[in-house]
Chain A
């Protein structure tokens, strides 16, 4: 056991390899273990921190699991009515063009009840950033069908699986908004592996930088798991996500520099 690292060595500042950003508060995350929200929060706050934007940033929290995002993000934040975050952000940015403004929204919030606000903010080319967490389910209300629930996927309101004939098709809202001339950068990422976290962090930074250049709406979708809602272990949920979500919601940039990426 001679090679075992001691506690004293661990807390020695010289051995520090990773530190929580001060832009994440010390509150205990309310998310289920294994959920992607915590990682998504952290990398967004890391980018805001690294860019020195804490004093200039106003965030908008949605309704859904991340309704309490303001408990964890150490910046000024507003909590929006269900689906209305892009309307709040529109006014904040129009009245404060010098500020960095973002919304953080789930699939039910952004792609069902808030579809009109999402589409019109994007179409007006509002200069803020939307972080869209897509886990294909309503997590907070107990796992009901979301607009992005896959065909055949079970939820508490599709107990035998989603059938498009009766329950409609899963909505590729990200591809839809990429078509709008008001969006400048649209990408789809994930946070289930160290490599994907690094890529997503880069996308978050790109979006914020482009916002600072007043390029129009920037949009980062993060496909995430909901192990509780999907009724799986975190490991199973991540594997299920790779096997089932990624083929329908493929990873990568959809629109770069205002141009759709050719596949």
Chain B
């Protein structure tokens, strides 16, 4: 990690991290509240800094399919969008999952359904973690709760994407994307050479040479038995990811009687709510999933015996609560508190809900 410190918006940090990580191509389409990603990239002239390609596509549909084309060549490719745009990309994400192509996709979530609102939301948990498009698949989902993590999860995203040959989603929200914080900037990585790509990605379409069979990137298997075999292979990969890639953070959990489970902006709110509650003698703690998929089931289950209940806080009608309930097997009461429509709950209202509705209610 370099020593350079910068004050940046979350979206800008993500864009700078892309250049520094040696990303080969960014393909995107403007949508609030994430347009700063492409604006930053075009202003920075990454074609001069690293040779990175940045292209404003005609739609989110085209963007994700450009990722397919680039990823199939073994290149590090990226896009960013916000909820309605991610909905449009889901077909392409399904194709990439099926064809086992690595990429990093940023979703700066806004309120829905439909055109909804441009304000922050976390109501895309289902579409991010449960597949989103058609067929049996998952994308790895990383949930940053600071601008620094917006920066850091770019490199982590590519590490996981290429390790498992799968799309990785970074699920942020309008607040994390727009707010400014101090960011520690890493060193510039060089983009991979053609030789390195051929060595690292022998499956990629880099041009058929006499020493190998032709490489074909497809998600099509007309023979059901072949398709099922492919499905089983994908599922095996998801089990490996579930076993090996869980990430989470525990804050003030050692003596906690009540546990907040929250990610992203909601996790930040809960930190303040914990202070309010502890000042009143209520021992609250925070369990923050960093990987939304794979969901940190076991670590959460292990905490059940020491707590009286869980409050899931999410800027939605309650989506992650389904995975929390499955994880703790309903051994403790699990409640949801959230605001919708682009409203961020205040630490006081979250603390009040725990104190008055949950504990005394």
Contacts and interface: CB of A to CB of B under 8 A. Distances in A.
Interface of A: 54-58, 60-61, 67-68, 70, 74-81, 84, 87-92, 94-96, 99, 116-117, 119-120
B72 interface: yes
Which of B63, B65, B69, B72 counts the most A-chain CB atoms under 10 A from its CB? B69
Which of A70, A80, A95 counts the most B-chain CB atoms under 10 A from its CB? A95
B72 to A, nearest CB: 5
B263 interface: no
B55 A75 contact: no
B69 A116 contact: no
Given A70-B216, A91-B27, A80 B68 contact: yes
Nearest to A87: B65
15 contacts: A58-B73, A68-B220, A76-B208, A78-B72, A78-B217, A80-B65, A81-B68, A87-B65, A88-B65, A88-B66, A91-B70, A91-B77, A95-B24, A95-B70, A95-B73
B216 A94 contact: no
A70 B53 contact: no
Contact of A91 (B67, B206, B208): B67
B19 to A, nearest CB: 16
B69 A75 contact: no
Given A74-B208, A95-B73, A79 B220 contact: yes
A58 B214 contact: no
B338 to A, nearest CB: 34
Contacts, number: 124
Contacts of A120: 57-58, 62
Nearest to A117: B62
Contacts of B57: 87, 120
B207 A55 contact: yes
Interface string B235-278: 00000000000000000000000000000000000000000000
A84 B218 contact: no
Contacts of B66: 87-88, 90-91
Interface of B: 24-25, 27, 53, 55, 57-59, 61-63, 65-70, 72-73, 75, 77, 91-92, 95, 99, 205-210, 214-220, 222
A90 B72 CA distance: 13
Given A80-B68, A117-B62, A95 B92 contact: no
B86 to A, nearest CB: 16
A120 B25 CA distance: 18
Given A77-B216, A78-B218, A84-B61, A95 B205 contact: no
A75 B207 CA distance: 7
B219 A79 contact: yes
A76 B206 contact: yes
Given A76-B216, A77-B214, A88 B207 contact: no
Given A60-B69, A92-B73, A117-B65, A78 B208 contact: no
A235 B27 CA distance: 46
A152 B72 CA distance: 42
Nearest to A113: B61
Contact of B55 (A58, A77, A94, A96): A94
Contacts of A88: 65-66, 68-69, 72
Contacts of A89: 69
Nearest to B57: A87
A77 B205 contact: yes
A74 B214 contact: yes
Contacts of A77: 205, 214-217
Contact of A99 (B25, B58, B68, B207): B207
A78 B218 CA distance: 6
Given A58-B205, A87-B69, 7 more contacts: A57-B207, A76-B215, A77-B215, A87-B61, A90-B69, A95-B70, A117-B65
Contacts of B207: 54-58, 75-76, 99
A73 B217 CA distance: 13
Which of B25, B91, B220 counts the most A-chain CB atoms under 10 A from its CB? B220
Nearest to B74: A95
A255 B40 CA distance: 38
Contacts of B75: 95
Contacts of B61: 84, 87, 116-117
A54 B70 CA distance: 19
Given A58-B73, A90-B66, A91-B77, A117 B58 contact: yes
Nearest to B96: A81
A54 B215 CA distance: 12
A90 B53 CA distance: 11
Contacts of B77: 91, 95
Which of B24, B25, B209, B218 counts the most A-chain CB atoms under 10 A from its CB? B218
